[in-house]
């Protein structure tokens, strides 16, 4: 049995070094507007206008230091597995606090794909209740995982958008019925920036006896999330984007009462009830969220992920949401002046941090902006502009000016 005492308790004994802020790593400033308080933590702004957090968050000094801490610990300790297990527990606790869950309801995974695969393979598609309902907004990995379950009896139904690009509630009413086993939702579409009405859809699903899985990769860190308030049964998210971590770390929340309902066949030794028992003669998954884990944890990414999440919490997710909404209102107003076609809904409650603009040649427009020192991305014929806590009004104005110089590539409203 592993000793689960905290890193702080071990540090007091001298067994574990407390996490380092690193030499010269400053804390957020205490006064002034949000970007003024935190922008100095992200060196990329010395060179570029970075508005691509929907793909990857900007690298902070604390995350860079976290990688140095990982190498230091490896060098000094040799093979500090017990310590690294505690680092995994730190990541679990940090994410649980972020989304209002208990730590034992959270699995630490290498990717959202790994967590969702554990969920999907842990379900049984038998009898009438074997239908998977998902939005037409889903990220490919989620759709592909559910379609792969067709070999095991799953029937996948897509809920289409209307002509305006939104998915009306009536479409969900038509799709979710007493044959539905699980409803798979993306909180914010990576293609359009549309935010679904999760609470209402979840209530409908529960009334009809279905589970709900929420993909919160595009909202975790940029929108306050409370799994109790949302009432979702499962939630998956990664550290790469608005949580300011790096690739290789994600999380899977499962409501405690449901954990043992799942029997994942996509698994590994870190999903075991006693990982250091090292028993290869039976399958005994953990009775906690660790049940959805797999093999060796992504230790370097965990160091970085904890640093990113702690920085996000220090800055404040609610403050970030308010700040980004103001920037996006400024952006949309400027896009209207350019007569550009904004794909993302205009109602603040129906959009996340991501604004999508239609283009005749989105990759060419992204490349043109990049030549002017502005980092964006494209999906589905749209240019994606995604601000975060570190962006300022001058970033928005720089984007609008560059779009104006390349307006021939913009679709008109």
Asked whether residue 378 is domain-assigned, the answer is: yes
Asked whether residue 54 is domain-assigned, the answer is: no
Tell me which residue range forms the domain holding 388: 317-408
Asked whether residue 322 is domain-assigned, the answer is: yes
H helices of 226-276, in order, are 227-230
Do 253 and 204 lie in a common domain?
yes
Do 164 and 255 lie in a common domain?
yes
pTM of the model: 0.91
pLDDT of residue 7: 35
Helices (H) and strands (E) in the chain, counts: 13, 12
Q: What is the CATH number of the domain that holds 171?
A: 3.40.640.10
Do 206 and 245 lie in a common domain?
yes
Asked whether residue 385 is domain-assigned, the answer is: yes
pLDDT of residue 104: 98
Strand order in the sheet with 131-135: 106-109, 250-254, 234-238, 211-215, 180-186, 131-135, 155-159
3-state secondary structure labels for all residues of 356-386? EEEECCHHHHHHHHHHCCEECEEECCEEEEE
Q: Is 107 exposed, middle or buried (0-12, 13-18, 19+ CB in 10 A)?
A: buried
Do 305 and 390 lie in a common domain?
no
Asked whether residue 100 is domain-assigned, the answer is: yes
Q: What is the DSSP letter of 179?
A: T
Do 116 and 193 lie in a common domain?
yes
Do 255 and 361 lie in a common domain?
no
pLDDT of residue 410: 98
Query: Distance between CA atoms of 369 and 395, rounded to whole angstroms?
Result: 12
Length of the chain: 413
Query: Distance between CA atoms of 57 and 53, rounded to whole angstroms?
Result: 4
pLDDT of residue 78: 85
Do 366 and 286 lie in a common domain?
no
Q: What is the CATH number of the domain that holds 363?
A: 3.90.1150.10
Do 207 and 294 lie in a common domain?
yes
pLDDT of residue 207: 98
pLDDT of residue 30: 60
The answer to whether residues 243 and 308 touch, using CB atoms and an 8 Å cutoff, is: yes
Do 153 and 294 lie in a common domain?
yes
Do 304 and 323 lie in a common domain?
no
Full pLDDT tens readout for the chain, 413 residues: 333 333 333 332 333 344 454 445 555 556 668 899 999 999 999 999 999 999 999 999 999 999 999 999 999 988 878 888 899 999 999 999 999 999 999 999 999 999 999 999 999 998 899 999 999 999 999 999 999 999 999 999 999 998 887 899 999 999 999 999 999 999 999 999 999 999 999 999 999 999 999 999 999 999 999 999 999 999 999 999 999 999 999 999 999 999 999 999 999 999 999 988 999 999 999 999 999 999 999 999 999 999 999 999 999 999 999 999 999 999 999 999 999 999 999 999 999 999 999 999 999 999 999 999 999 999 999 999 999 999 999 999 999 999 999 999 999 99
Asked whether residue 9 is domain-assigned, the answer is: no
Domain-terminating residue out of 286, 312, 338: 312
pLDDT of residue 29: 58
Number of domains in the chain: 2
Asked whether residue 244 is domain-assigned, the answer is: yes
Do 224 and 363 lie in a common domain?
no
* Reduced DSSP (H G I as helix, E B as strand, rest coil) percent helix, strand, coil of the chain, to 5: 45, 15, 40
Asked whether residue 24 is domain-assigned, the answer is: no
Angle in degrees, 0-180, between the axes of helices 299-315 and 81-99, rounded to the nearest 10: 30
């Amino acid at each position: 049995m592993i000793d689960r005492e905290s890193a702080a308790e071990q540090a007091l004994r001298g067994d574990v070094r407390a996490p380092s802020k690193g030499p010269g790593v400053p804390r957020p400033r205490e006064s002034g507007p949000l970007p003024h308080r935190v922008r100095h933590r992200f060196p990329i702004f010395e060179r570029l206008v970075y508005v691509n957090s929907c793909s990857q968050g900007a690298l902070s000094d604390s995350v860079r230091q976290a990688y140095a801490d990982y190498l230091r610990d490896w060098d000094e300790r040799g093979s500090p597995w017990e310590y690294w297990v505690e680092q995994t527990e730190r990541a679990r606790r940090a994410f649980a606090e972020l989304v209002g869950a208990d730590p034992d309801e959270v699995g630490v995974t290498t990717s959202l794909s790994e967590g969702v695969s554990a969920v999907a393979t842990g379900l049984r598609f038998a009898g009438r209740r074997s239908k998977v309902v998902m939005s037409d907004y889903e990220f490919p990995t989620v759709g592909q995982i559910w379609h792969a379950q067709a070999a095991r009896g799953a029937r996948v139904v897509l809920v289409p958008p209307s002509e305006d690009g939104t998915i009306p509630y009536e479409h969900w009413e038509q799709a979710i019925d007493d044959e539905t086993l699980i409803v798979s939702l993306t909180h914010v579409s990576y293609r359009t920036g549309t935010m679904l009405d999760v609470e209402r859809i979840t209530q409908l699903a529960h009334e009809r006896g279905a589970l709900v899985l929420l993909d919160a990769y595009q909202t975790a860190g940029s929108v306050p999330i409370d799994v109790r308030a949302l009432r979702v049964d499962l939630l998956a998210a990664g550290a790469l984007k608005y949580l300011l971590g790096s690739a290789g770390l994600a999380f899977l929340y499962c409501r405690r009462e449901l954990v043992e309902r799942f029997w994942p066949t996509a698994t590994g030794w870190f999903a075991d009830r006693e990982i250091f028992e090292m028993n290869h003669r039976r399958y005994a998954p953990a009775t906690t969220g660790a049940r959805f884990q797999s093999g060796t944890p992504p230790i370097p990414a965990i160091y970085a992920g904890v640093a990113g999440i702690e920085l996000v919490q220090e800055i404040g997710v609610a403050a970030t949401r308010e700040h980004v909404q103001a920037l996006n209102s400024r952006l949309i107003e400027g896009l209207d002046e350019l007569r550009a076609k904004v794909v993302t809904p205009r109602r603040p409650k129906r959009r996340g941090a991501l604004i999508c603009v239609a283009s005749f040649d989105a990759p060419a427009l992204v490349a043109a902006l990049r030549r002017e020192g502005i980092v964006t991305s494209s999906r589905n014929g749209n240019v994606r502009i995604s601000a975060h806590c570190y962006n300022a009004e001058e970033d928005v104005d720089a984007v609008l000016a560059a779009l104006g110089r390349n307006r021939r590539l913009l679709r008109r409203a």
